[in-house]
Amino acid sequence: MTPFRRWLSISVMFREAGFQVFSPHSPLLLLARRSAFLCFAVMSLGCGRPFNIKTQPGLPPANYAATAAAGEVSIQAQAITDEDFLLETFDANLIAAGILPVDVMLTNRGGSAVDIKKARFEARVQGQTHKAVSAREAFKRLVSYYELSAYNKSGYRKSLEAFSGYALDIGSPLGSGASRRGLLFFFVPSESARGAGLTLLLTKLGSGGSGSSATVELKLN
């Protein structure tokens, strides 16, 4: 049976049931087809990002309440719990998704570079200790929390790159006199992140180099 005859037989059934049936070549159906194609094209060729993450102005003004030192490296930190700021910057509420972002500034006051690749960061919240997770893991948690699926691979990659751009870079040595700032991410229950008693723990900073392997604690609130 040809497509036209198939449509004809189905249209007869619908007419007998009292439904109005349009010709497969009618302007109304052609318009509907074109509209559907346009919607698909916008989703496929458009941005298709799960989150519209800002790259400017970036992190909030530095207002570190906690400062400590590990060898020649000074550490400053503040937990970012302003949910309005997070929503405006990341197009998502990290706290509600169970992600605690901590803004960290490292400054090397020594005369040689410090290896920070093996540094270990943890957040202690109400007696529970949580290890830092990668930006990729935090981003996946956001996508899962918001149950997002209407995005393409390119859009996902661009959102992930923008999100990862906020993370603290610990992959390269911290040069003499240099400062480095970025976010650390911790999986912390939202009710705990909104409460008091947040502490950042840092160990193995520059161990084996000019840094210190001692444990450093910074009370964030």
Residue 94 to residues 83, 84, 127, 193, Cα–Cα distance (Å) = 8, 10, 21, 10
CA–CA separation, 176 and 114 (whole Å): 8
Question: Rounded mean pLDDT of 130-158?
Answer: 95
pLDDT above 90 as % of the chain = 63
Tokens, residue 76: 């400053």
Confidence band for 46, pLDDT divided at 50, 70 and 90: very low
CA–CA separation, 22 and 29 (whole Å): 7
Out of 2.40.30.10, 2.60.40.4110, 3.40.50.300, 1.10.490.10, the CATH code matching 66-219 is 2.60.40.4110
Please give the mean pLDDT across all residues of the chain: 82
Tell me which residue of 88, 220, 115, 212 sits closest to 169, measured CA to CA: 115
State the amino acid at position 204 in one-letter form: K
Tokens, residue 201: 């723990």
Question: Rounded mean pLDDT of 101-119?
Answer: 94
Question: Rounded mean pLDDT of 89-102?
Answer: 98
Phi-psi region of 60 (alpha: psi -120 to 50; beta: other; left: phi over 0): beta
Residue 44 has pLDDT above 50, yes or no: no
Residue 159 to residues 35, 89, 151, Cα–Cα distance (Å) = 28, 12, 10
Check residue 2 and give its pLDDT. 42
Least confident of 44-48, 96-100, 102-106, 193-197: 44-48
**SS3 labels along 73-119:** EEEEEEECCCHHHHHHHHCCCCCCCCEEEEEEEEEECCCCCECCCCC
Burial letters for 87-108: b for 16+ Cβ neighbours within 10 Å, e otherwise? Answer: eebbbbbbbbbbbbbbbbbbbb
Check residue 216 and give its pLDDT. 93
Q: Domains of the chain: which residue ranges? A: 3-45, 66-219
